[in-house]
């Protein structure tokens, strides 16, 4: 039962300290929860890799941002 609290605690800490932003959970808790369950579904069905590839920008060698 403590696992979600611990995991969210690490995620929130990372948002504040490393990314310097506020987690979506604070502003939109229901959308955040829905997105988490969608991600878990992708993981359980083996589709998470495809979702990551769809959101990744591929740069050609020798080009800059």
Per-residue pLDDT reduced to its tens digit, 26-52:
899 899 889 989 999 999 999 999 998
pLDDT in tens, 50-60: 998 888 777 77
Instruction: For residue 50, tell me if it sits in a domain.
Output: yes
Please give the tally of structural domains in the chain: 1
Is the pLDDT score of 13 beyond 90?
yes
Instruction: For residue 24, tell me if it sits in a domain.
Output: yes
Instruction: For residue 45, tell me if it sits in a domain.
Output: yes
Q: What is the pTM of this model?
A: 0.62
Instruction: For residue 63, tell me if it sits in a domain.
Output: no
Instruction: For residue 64, tell me if it sits in a domain.
Output: no
Residue 24, token pair as written in the block? 């979506």
Instruction: For residue 48, tell me if it sits in a domain.
Output: yes
Instruction: For residue 65, tell me if it sits in a domain.
Output: no
Instruction: For residue 18, tell me if it sits in a domain.
Output: yes
Q: For residue 35, what are the domain limits?
A: 2-58
Q: Which residues contact 25 (CB under 8 A, 6 or more apart)?
A: 8, 12, 32, 33
């Amino acid at each position: 039962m403590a696992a979600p609290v611990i995991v969210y605690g690490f995620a929130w800490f990372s948002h504040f300290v490393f990314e310097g932003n506020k987690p979506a959970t604070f502003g939109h808790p229901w959308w955040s929860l829905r997105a988490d369950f969608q991600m878990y579904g992708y993981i359980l069905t083996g589709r998470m890799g495809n979702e990551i590839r769809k959101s990744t920008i591929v740069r050609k060698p020798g080009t800059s941002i």
